[in-house]
Amino acid sequence: MGRNYISNRVLDKLPNHLRDFIVKQPYDEYTAQNQAVWRYVMRKNMDYLSLAAHESYIPGLKMAGISIEEIPRMEGMNRILKEIGWAAVSVDGFIPPNAFMEFQAYNTLVVAADIRTIDHIEYTPAPDIIHEAAGHAPIIANPEYAEYLRRFGEIGAKAISSSKDFELYEAIRHLSIIKEDPSTKQSEISEAEERIEFIAKNMGDPSEMAGIRNMHWWTVEYGLIGTIENPKIYGAGLLSSIGESKWCMSEKVKKIPYTIAAAEMEFDITKPQPQLFVTEDFAHLSFVLEEYANTMALRNGGLKGVQKLIESRNYGTIELSTGIQVSGKFSEVFSDHNNKPVYFKTTGPTALAYKNKELIGHDKSYHFEGFGSPVGKLRGINLPIENMSPTDLEAYGIYEGRKTCLKFEGGVTVEGEIITGKRNLQGKIILISFRNCKVTLKDEILFHPDWGIYDMAVGESVISAFSGIADPNSFGQQFEVPKEKTHKITYSENELALFDLYQEIRDYRNQKRKDEKFLRRIFKSVQSEYPHDWLLALEIYELADPVQDSILRDEISRYLEQNFTDDSIRQLILDGMMLVNKI
């Protein structure tokens, strides 16, 4: 299969399982009206955000290869982004949270391929190219923020989700898709919203990913920076929403100092936010992130870490004290009276690794039915197996060709003939393989001699548990690419004819023509055939010379004032005209 993108030195580092999410940017499918929507939002944002956004925003647009005049091409963005060590790829709408985070960890922005419709010009719950490119990309020109974003992705990708998290993600993705489709019935939207509300109310205990998702929302998406009294905008959701970027600065929105409490603050993606967090600087974001990471199974492991992986029902990894890593879907864990794991099991394809590199001969095709191993020290022996010298191992009967019986403190017994072992670079033994092996815990048989070779991971304790595969390049796909795709809008002949008029105006502007008769002809077509379209009339108003075409300008102004009385559209028109008259 050919690539859907042009690679560069940043994208070359992406693991294969992430590449499956990348789609070809459908640039030829953007209509001239889409281009006008981009231009309107960007011009309006530039006017307001030059004062309200963090100082990195305006210069960051140029550094990210983003123009006010046209929707950016991924190839163009990448040519410029690579100079600051980043890249951008097109994806289809929302992708799974762990995959989204992992892209960030590889210094790659995911950019939704679609663009909001004119009906959602102020704000859309669906990810779109305005939000992703014009919102996220400019701030990464700030090195400290860029490192925070990368580090957030690195830690966030390891956060363990619950099974409910994925259910909520799919429900939100579905709602975002149907809301941007003009043909969707209101009853279908209401049903999707009710489903999200039901899932959200029945999530159970918050997962690590829920905390990461909240922190991402209140910083990367809806973050403010500076002081409570005088904050600036840096969150992409605010930078890309011409409505909320103003609303957020009003006294109606409560401003709160950013702390780890943000991890527990839920949000509603369909509504303006009633409160926002303000960080004093970008360095503080990293401080809070590390504070949260210290609570995760990634850094604590233990019984709870394994239990979180079991509950997630997704691929995950545990790391033992020797450094050996076991990646797969964890199905069961046994513990002792001190709540320490004594034996764990996976089901289905499992791979073993050390320092995130798969152990040769222990890939998912070898352990295709699962894996299980004891954890802990041997009974009556204070020295863990991994700390035993060759002399110690021989003394305790742990060496090749020897039939042995290993009795662990947790009650697990491993009886069999040792075939071989694997050691790490420091000489510590990390894996022992047996033939004719029987593994039991009390009366339960965990491994039977008839099942073949038994591989036992060595480790006194579980020091880490995290989402995903230790060596993703060797394992393959971890996250399922969404089956429901963003709906491709089917346009009527009348709408296509309207887009042709938009293109004529776009060409006229690019050619820097001066032709009052041409503009009047297009305006008459808008009046007679497209009375519901306000943006094209506004573009004609902008191009009409304020002196030579003053009569035409007055006609357009009266037309817009008399025919668009809805408050939200009226405000969009007034803002657009004010911006034109500023020039």
The pLDDT score that the predictor gives to residue 204 is: 80
Lowest-confidence region among 328-332, 428-432, 465-469, 474-478: 474-478
Predicted confidence (pLDDT) at residue 2 exceeds the cutoff of 60:
no
Lowest-confidence region among 315-329, 365-379, 421-435: 421-435
Cβ atoms of residues 298 and 320 within 8 Å: no
Cβ atoms of residues 351 and 328 within 8 Å: yes
Bridge-partner residues for 374, per DSSP?
A: 343
- For β-strands 254-257 and 275-279, DSSP reports them as parallel
C-alpha dihedral (54, 249, 69, 145), degrees to nearest 10: 30
DSSP for residue 367: B
Contacts of 146 (CB under 8 A, 6+ apart): 84, 85, 86, 107, 140
Lowest-confidence region among 8-22, 273-287, 368-382: 8-22
Query: Structure tokens of 559?
Result: 């037309």
Task: Summarize pLDDT for 550-575 with one digit per residue, the tens.
Answer: 999 999 999 999 999 998 899 999 99
Higher pLDDT, 455 or 206: 455
In whole numbers, what is the pLDDT of the chain averaged over residues? Answer: 92
Helix (H) or strand (E) holding 352: strand 341-354
The pLDDT score that the predictor gives to residue 1 is: 42
Question: Which stretches does DSSP call E strand in 427-556?
Answer: 429-441, 444-447, 454-457, 462-467
State the pLDDT confidence band at 478, using cuts at 50, 70 and 90: low
The pLDDT score that the predictor gives to residue 486 is: 84
Lowest-confidence region among 129-143, 428-442, 495-509: 129-143
What is the mean predicted confidence (pLDDT) over 133-145? Answer: 91
State the pLDDT confidence band at 409, using cuts at 50, 70 and 90: very high
Cβ atoms of residues 470 and 353 within 8 Å: yes
State the pLDDT confidence band at 279, using cuts at 50, 70 and 90: very high
CA angle 262, 265, 266 (to 5 degrees): 135
* Whole-structure pTM value: 0.88
Lowest-confidence region among 6-10, 177-181, 356-360, 538-542: 6-10
Lowest-confidence region among 59-68, 307-316, 340-349: 59-68
C-alpha to C-alpha distances, 580 to 15, 137, 522, nearest whole angstrom: 47, 26, 19
Task: Summarize pLDDT for 91-113 with one digit per residue, the tens.
Answer: 988 888 888 999 999 999 999 88
What is the mean predicted confidence (pLDDT) over 181-206? Answer: 88
Q: Which has the closest alpha carbon to 498: 538, 532, 544?
A: 532
The pLDDT score that the predictor gives to residue 145 is: 95
396, amino acid identity: Y
The pLDDT score that the predictor gives to residue 97 is: 87
205, amino acid identity: D
CA angle 67, 69, 72 (to 5 degrees): 50
The pLDDT score that the predictor gives to residue 535 is: 97
Share above pLDDT 90 across residues of the chain, in percent, rounded to a whole number = 68
Share above pLDDT 70 across residues of the chain, in percent, rounded to a whole number = 98
Predicted confidence (pLDDT) at residue 270 exceeds the cutoff of 80:
no
What is the mean predicted confidence (pLDDT) over 405-432? Answer: 94
